Amino acid sequence: MLGAGMGAGDESGHEGRRVATFPDDHPAYHRAMAGALRDGRGRLMASQGPDELLSTLEEQERRLIFPSLGYDDAWRLGTLLVELARERRAPVAIDIRCGVQQVFHCALPGSSADNDAWIDRKRRVVERYAESSYLVGERFRVRGTAFEESSRLDPDRYAAHGGSFPLRLSRDGPVVGTVTVSGLPQAEDHRLIVEALERYLGLGSP
């Protein structure tokens, strides 16, 4: 499976597995990222440039809003993610937080403790920027820089790689939780979350 280049200090586009990579400013990087994003029905999205990819990621956050978020919601979303990951034999770890409390965690075969560390680093980006970790990283790349170089944050604690998504109760409301997946290339981690959210909320892709 092809993974896009991740950023300074990380040689793999697959958390825990070495794969082919591109520099972040290489045209193939953005083609790989856009190509890895599919809608909730598994259909490949049209090829997107950097600005189009940003628009797609922003639209997902505006659309995927929870009517409520509690322990039962977290359990149902988490078990749905586990079901989707098992269907694909995806070696992932899954984490859901309500506020600062961890309310769901599952590690599937093939994952490791390293994935838990990735979860924490990606989740902290969402908590700090109130946007998905994929969107935050892409904003830096579109500006011609890298999150690791320009954010002035400790890369051992923060990773703007796809796979952590903010949970909100209204479009303009604060982030009240996070859902995070680690174990696949960053675009695939992100896609798995988006697909689960669309199914959980009864929404199709636009």
For 58-80, what is each residue's pLDDT tens digit?
A: 999 999 999 999 999 999 999 99
Question: What gap in Å lies between CA 187 and CA 54, rounded to an integer?
Answer: 13
Res 52: pLDDT: 85
Q: What is the pTM of this model?
A: 0.79
> Quick check: 125 and 26 in contact, CB under 8 A?
no
Tokens at residue 187, please?
Answer: 């675009």
Residue linked to tokens 């988490």: 78
Residue 186 has pLDDT above 70, yes or no: yes
Q: Please tell me what DSSP assigns to residue 39.
A: -
Question: What gap in Å lies between CA 200 and CA 206, rounded to an integer?
Answer: 16
Average pLDDT over residues 173-182: 97
> Quick check: 135 and 58 in contact, CB under 8 A?
yes
CA-wise closest residue to 32 among 55, 7, 54, 4? 4
Tokens at residue 95, please?
Answer: 């984490």
Going from N- to C-terminal start, the domains of the chain cover: 27-201
Fold of 27-201: Beta-Lactamase (3.30.450)
What pLDDT band is residue 27 in, cutting at 50, 70 and 90? very low
Higher-confidence position of 106 and 6: 106
136: left (phi over 0), alpha (psi -120 to 50) or beta: alpha
Residue 202 has pLDDT above 70, yes or no: yes
Q: Please tell me what DSSP assigns to residue 81.
A: H
